[in-house]
A = this chain, B = another copy of it.
């Protein structure tokens, strides 16, 4: 399973001294970007830019089991939970030790950024998702 490590920065944290919950969603978007290139072999920026394929979220949910602190090295893992016609669901797990401190489910919808409507998952993305899903089961 593909993983990436993020060092928690000053600016990720709030006045309570822990990772701000909204920033976790921003960090997870970055994890998805890096997972595209690192695990799927696809370029996230090329989808949004030249290909005009949106990868926005239809829904997301997150459980925060323990706070993240500045200086922490947190390992994020990605699982493909569901591949639909025009959407996919990812599970993101974040670890500082053996148990996840964060478990999130992000449902991405593939859209045309020109016509602003859902479009089928592009073939190269679908193939890469299926391959990754097969490899991590």
Interface residues, chain A, with chain B CB atoms under 8 Å away: 8-11, 13-18, 20-23, 25-26, 29-30, 33, 43-46, 48-49, 54, 56-64, 67, 69-71, 113, 116
Contact = CB atoms under 8 A, between A and B. Distances in A.
How many copies of this chain does the complex contain?
4
Contacts of A10: 14-15, 29, 33, 44-45, 48
Contact of A16 (B20, B23, B56): B56
Nearest to A57: B21
Nearest to A50: B71
Contacts of A46: 71
B61 A15 contact: no
Contact of A11 (B9, B30, B49, B71): B30
Contact of A15 (B13, B21, B33, B59): B13
A134 B17 CA distance: 34
Contacts of A25: 21-22, 25
Contacts of A59: 61-64
Contact of A48 (B16, B45, B56, B63): B16
A43 to B, nearest CB: 7
A21 B104 CA distance: 14
A33 B88 CA distance: 33
Shortest Cβ-Cβ A-B pairs, 10 listed? A45-B71, A61-B61, A22-B25, A22-B26, A13-B15, A59-B63, A21-B57, A45-B70, A15-B17, A16-B54
